[in-house]
Amino acid sequence: MNERDEARLFRVLDPPPGGLADLRRRIAARESRRAWGFNLATAAVGLAIVIVGIVVSVPLTGPTNLLGDDLVAIQLGLIEPPSEPVSIRAANRGEFAVERVPTSDERVVMYRFGSR
């Protein structure tokens, strides 16, 4: 059998500065920085995906007026409010109808709507 001289194979190293405890602390700190960087990168990628999802889901049409032109004009004081709380626009009067339903309590107001 071949016998090897262990002195040539393995060098004897001096202990690290600060001892073994300081070496372990530096290794743990390095791993912590790596984990922090990975978590930060993962969060950045997730945020980018959310932003892209929001941008893609927004319709490309112009702004939609959800309140209606008449309501905005009334709130701005450009036109007078109608005598009835519910009204139909002049352009839609041929297709829709509204009728106030009488109730026994004056505080309760009900309407019946119909369309063609």
Tokens coding 101: 């339903």
Per-residue pLDDT tens over the stretch 19-63 = 888 888 888 888 777 777 788 888 899 999 998 888 887 766 655
Q: What is the pTM of this model?
A: 0.31
Write down the pLDDT at residue 48: 92
Q: Which residue ranges make up each domain of the chain?
A: 6-57, 69-115
Per-residue pLDDT tens over the stretch 52-103 = 888 887 766 655 554 466 667 777 778 776 666 677 777 777 777 778 888 8
The set of residues, in sequence order, having a beta carbon less than 8 Å from that of 109 and lying 6+ positions away, is 85, 100, 103
Dist CA 14 CA 10 (whole Å): 13
